[in-house]
């Protein structure tokens, strides 16, 4: 379709699936980045329609989708220095999560709302399109990289020094993870099975009180994203996408077709029917059978 962003001019930072016909990608211009100018180009893929483009005056690094007004969807983008943008029904609300800028790492959909996490244990929950509640627990000062909901209540986070913690109300409980590497992404299924990934090919797996690293021979890539899709666990580095087999080995995902992705980083899913994989130069979606390139 026309108006497609050119990867001669941009790299992809990350992305999220809004619905089967709508994907948001956060793009970066290397030329502008070299000048240390904060910026984000937004490319919105629409199935069988022209792309929509927009821009932000800060470095957007993560995006999540939640319920919006009038039954629609809201896309929430956060920047590395605490800026945020909430896009709902074509309207954008911009702001700063906290007046004192905080270094944020990611934003995730958790129990019907959106959580932003970052440096020194900072956690914020979006209260409405223009304000956030502080959920930081002062007992945890470790940098947090990612969050996910815990089905029995509360939410989980992961981060530096092997951090895995369960937050429930005002209580934060640090869990034993069996590692001290930076854990970059965490997920938990409806049965309470937890998976987290991180540096040096690390995957941590188990129930809340029995987490342990999986020892995966020959894998030393730093992992940046992990997800469960149609019963399988997928994990990505910047150069490969893997599928976990029998909780003990990783298989490279095989791609068919003429345009095979060579860059990876972030994974996102939509209602267990689509999985998005994005890297600096590739954005592809998977329906469980076929891969389709969107950029």
Q: What is the DSSP string of 127-155?
A: EETTEEEE---TT--S-EEEEEE-TTSSE
Instruction: Tell me whether residue 196 is exposed, middle or buried, using C-beta atoms within 10 angstroms of its C-beta: 0 to 12, 13 to 18, 19 or more.
Output: buried
Q: Shortest CA distance to 63 belongs to which of 112, 127, 126, 17?
A: 17
Question: Does 144 have pLDDT greater than 70?
Answer: yes
* Strands 40-46 vs 52-56: parallel, antiparallel or unpaired: antiparallel
Percent of the chain with pLDDT over 90: 85
Q: pLDDT tens digits, residue range 35-89?
A: 999 999 999 999 999 999 999 999 999 999 999 887 889 999 999 999 999 999 8
CA distance between the termini of the chain = 11
Is 1 a residue whose pLDDT tops 60? no
Q: What is the mean predicted confidence (pLDDT) over 236-248?
A: 94
Share of the chain above pLDDT 70, in %: 99
């Amino acid at each position: 379709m026309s108006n497609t962003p050119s990867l001669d001019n941009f790299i992809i930072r990350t992305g999220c699936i809004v619905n089967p016909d709508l994907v948001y990608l956060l793009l970066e211009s290397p030329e502008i980045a070299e000048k240390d100018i904060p910026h984000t180009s937004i490319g919105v893929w629409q199935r069988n329609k022209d792309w929509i483009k927009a821009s932000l005056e800060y470095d957007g690094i993560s995006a999540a989708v939640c319920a919006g007004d009038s039954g629609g969807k809201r896309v929430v983008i956060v920047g590395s220095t605490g800026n945020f943008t909430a896009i709902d029904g074509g309207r954008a609300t911009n702001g700063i999560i906290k007046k004192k800028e905080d270094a944020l790492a990611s934003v995730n959909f958790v129990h019907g709302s959106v959580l932003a996490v970052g440096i020194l244990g900072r956690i914020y929950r979006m209260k409405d399109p223009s304000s956030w509640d502080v959920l930081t627990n002062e007992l945890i000062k470790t940098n947090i990289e990612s969050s996910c909901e815990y089905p029995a209540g509360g939410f989980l986070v992961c981060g530096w020094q092997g951090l895995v913690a369960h937050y429930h109300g005002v209580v934060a409980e640090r869990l034993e993870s069996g590692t001290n590497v930076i854990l970059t992404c965490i997920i938990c299924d409806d049965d309470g099975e937890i998976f987290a990934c991180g540096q040096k090919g690390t995957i941590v797996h188990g129930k809340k009180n029995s987490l342990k690293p999986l020892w995966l021979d020959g894998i030393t890539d730093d992992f940046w994203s992990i997800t469960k899709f149609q019963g399988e666990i997928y994990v990505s580095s910047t150069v490969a996408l893997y599928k976990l087999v029998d909780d003990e080995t990783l298989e490279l995902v095989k791609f068919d077709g003429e345009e095979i992705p060579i860059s990876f980083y972030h994974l996102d899913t939509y209602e267990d029917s689509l999985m998005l994989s994005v890297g600096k130069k590739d954005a592809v979606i998977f329906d469980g059978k076929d891969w389709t390139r969107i950029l």
